Amino acid sequence: MSEQPFFSVVIPLYNKAPHVARSVGSVLNQTFQDFELIVVNDASTDGSVEEVQKFNNPRMRLLQRDKPGPGGYAARNLGIWEARAEWVAFLDADDEWYPNHLSSAYRMLNKYPDCTLFIFSCSSYLNKSQALKKIFCCYEKKMIRSDAIKRYVENDIHTNSVVTQRLSLIEAGMFPAGKCRRGGDSDLWLRLMLNSTFIAVSPEITSCYHIENSGVLADLNATDTMHPVLNTIKYSLEQNLSDPERSSLKKLGNRKSFSWSLSRKRAGFFKVCELRNFYFSAFFAKDWLRFIILLLPKVIYRSLRPNPGKPEKCLK
């Protein structure tokens, strides 16, 4: 590995002993090898560190934090600060990259040198037999900011699928450690978009999100009543943006608010005051149906749930 690697890979680690070897191994087995791997232990107590230490690879650095932080935001931020490379990529400790992730990123970086943010597609596993493809964009393209935000309205971005400049992360404020419990990754991707001139996207699937192994269940009673992305949206709407960008931001805020509020509704924690989080002027036709469902009495709403016994997953 060179003194300054091309990529810095950051893995936050908190109690993922059964899965972290797969995650670390998927990074070390990349076809593109000019990288460093920074594993940030977020005060794990289950033997996760010992699993990482078994690799004893010169590309790896293991950093320690004394106290775990919600969402792994503080751990990722520490990894960003310690990164030696210009370009940073992220991987969760219970997920994996396919061998082409960094090589695909390297190709895209050289093809689109004026881009600072690169977004790939991913697959996800609900269980061992059910796999889904999450395609951010059906074609490879360099997008202007307004088009990227419009695409973000329709498709989520997973942390494992992002490659961006270290300097861009710092200028965007990095992950919101201490400012929210969940949803901070979605907010960071929007801030990066708003700070970018061009964004490159790819339909290539380069990572896998193992939902069944995440082990993160949302304590919706402790979840903020407003998705953190709305703070960025409200601030941005006060700036000099184009009309298409303003419209897309409102639609993005509505999508996140519906996901957030419906999850809280299922758990019985939704409050009427959360309706102020919506931009009614930007509603799609289907949004009005969701809005009616959101206003249904709790007893009726729960009777409509297809899987009433299924626990809530971590909100994004």
Question: What CATH code would you report for 7-213?
Answer: 3.90.550.10
| pLDDT single digits (tens) 142-171 | 999 999 999 999 999 999 999 999 999 999
| pLDDT single digits (tens) 56-114 | 899 999 999 999 888 899 999 999 999 999 999 999 999 999 999 999 999 999 999 99
Give the range among 80-89, 123-132, 206-215 with minimum mean pLDDT: 123-132
The domains of the chain are located at 7-213, 229-303
Q: Please, are residues 198 and 144 in contact by the beta-carbon 8 Å criterion?
A: yes
Q: What is the pLDDT of residue 311?
A: 40
Band the pLDDT of 204: cuts 50, 70, 90.
very high
Q: Could you give the maximum distance between any two Cα atoms of the chain, in Å?
A: 61
